[in-house]
Amino acid sequence: MSDAEPIIALENVYKIFGPNPRGRAFDLCSSGVGKDEVQRQTGHVVGMRDISFEVHKGEIFVVMGLSGSGKSTAIRTVNKLHDVTSGRVVVEGINVQDLTGTALQAFRREKLSMVFQHFALFPHRNVIDNTAYGLKVQGVEKRERHEAAIEALAMVGLEAYAFNSTRELSGGMQQRVGLARALCSDPDILLMDEAFSALDPLIRRQMQDELMAIQSKLHKTILFITHDLNEALRIGNRVCILRDGKVIQIGTPEEILTEPADGYVAEFVQDVDQGRVIEVEKVMQAAVFLDTSKSLTECVDSLGERRGGFVVDGDGRPIGLLSVNDAASALAHGTTDLGSVLRSDFDTTTPHARFNDNYAAAGRGLPIAVLDEAGRLVGELEPREIMEEMGRVEELVDGFEREVFL
Ligand SMILES: Nc1ncnc2c1ncn2[C@@H]1O[C@H](COP(=O)(O)OP(=O)(O)OP(=O)(O)O)[C@@H](O)[C@H]1O
Ligand SMILES: [Mg+2]
């Protein structure tokens, strides 16, 4: 993906707020003086300091940072809601700063849609008219724009509410309408500024899932702003971390987690549920392959410290799991035959699954077989051990209960 032509590129963008943005405030800022000091000396506020990043076609690029770090300012330069003080913003080859008047209007309508934190729906219009609003402004006739709106509402699961008033909808539903409205004009680019931040956690997660599902169908280019690192890591293909108007790090979720650029990022990372991001491949171990010609006792010995081992068929596919617990109780009852102790109801996963996808299976306390695409055993996951190391057994149990009982 990173080889692709960028759809959005910010090149050394500065944004300074105040009466004379290109004066001394800019000189100080561009020579490395920090945001607070620039403000103290000049009364100007640094919104963006030498920010560069590229968003590639089809990716969800997340800009993350604390309040005041410059996220909204950055996203607003992309559709020229803000002029830049210095640097360039290029969208699909167009230098956004050059756009004015009708060209700017056409650009905003056709190339991109924006979803805001506070829904920004028209309370006196019903759901379908809110959704179709952008097309109406473009002069699309009613039947056609209603068809497009129904299709967009179906994507967010709200087609049944098309003729309801937006006042009758919950916050989550209103935000779905906001998303449907953005999708309705079928733009290449979605700009989403804290679009889910006002929602409560469960609804927020659902919206994240829906956005990812929609994205896997539509392959939009999405610039997504959040102050929540968990959200950033969950939905972002790449994440850019801002602080005081400056880029601190750009990387994949895994890079951010495993190689935080500095203490600031590291501090954020501490609070993150790593299991959402880490792939099975990173934490699996080599599986123990059992030799069926050996006795049960010999097989147990070959497990060493491990909780289990596998018997595979001629193609390397696991057909049985010997767990230490099963073996111990069998031996206690005088059973010595390996075959009678093997279980076939073991769980499986894949190297690129997320660690957390295995919560329910982990709750059974058995090793999980990691299989490649051909179903061959390539490793073994012992989630409890890993969670213990991460000191998060309680979380594992919670996750298991959530998955099983909710
Ligand atoms: N129109 C403006 N006039 C003056 N200063 C502004 C303006 N807009 C933003 N700023 C300042 O620019 C800096 C970045 O603001 P911005 O709104 O981009 O932050 P943010 O990261 O989006 O924060 P939040 O999470 O609170 O939305 C802040 O210091 C803010 O006070
Ligand atoms: Mg903001």
What's the pLDDT at 388? 61
Confidence of residue 269 (pLDDT cuts 50, 70, 90): confident
- Cα(46) to centroid of ligand 1, in Å? 9
Of 46-55, 184-193, 222-231, 278-287, the least confident: 278-287
What's the pLDDT at 223? 98
Instruction: Average the pLDDT over 236-242 and give the result.
Output: 95
| Nearest ligand for residue 192 CA | 2
Condensed to tens digits (0 to 9), the pLDDT of residues 286-334 reads 999 999 999 999 999 999 888 899 999 999 999 999 999 899 889 988 8
Question: Looking at ligand 1, which residue's alpha carbon is closest to its atom 14?
Answer: 70
Condensed to tens digits (0 to 9), the pLDDT of residues 112-159 reads 998 887 767 888 889 999 999 989 988 899 999 999 999 999 999 999
Instruction: Average the pLDDT over 202-206 and give the result.
Output: 86
The better pLDDT of the pair 87, 401 is held by 87
Residues whose beta carbon lies within 6 Å of some atom of ligand 1: 17, 45, 47, 65, 67-73, 227
Domains within the chain, CATH numbers bracketed: 6-111+187-272 (3.40.50.300), 280-405 (3.10.580.10)
Contact 182, 190 (CB under 8 A): yes
Q: Give, for ligand 1, the residue of 71, 242, 248 to mutate: max count of ligand atoms closer than 8 Å to Cβ.
A: 71
What's the pLDDT at 43? 95
Which atom of ligand 1 is the closest one to the Cα of 74?
A: 18
Which atom of ligand 1 is the closest one to the Cα of 117?
A: 27
The better pLDDT of the pair 96, 282 is held by 96
Confidence of residue 4 (pLDDT cuts 50, 70, 90): low
Residue 396 in this model has a pLDDT that exceeds 50: no
Question: Can you give the C-alpha Rg of the chain in angstroms?
Answer: 27
| Nearest ligand for residue 116 CA | 2
Residue 405 in this model has a pLDDT that exceeds 70: no
Q: Give, for ligand 1, the residue of 45, 83, 240 to mutate: max count of ligand atoms closer than 8 Å to Cβ.
A: 45
The better pLDDT of the pair 210, 259 is held by 210
Instruction: Average the pLDDT over 9-29 and give the result.
Output: 96
The better pLDDT of the pair 205, 3 is held by 205
Residue 372 in this model has a pLDDT that exceeds 60: yes
Instruction: Average the pLDDT over 361-374 and give the result.
Output: 87
Instruction: Average the pLDDT over 80-84 and give the result.
Output: 94
Residue 106 in this model has a pLDDT that exceeds 50: yes
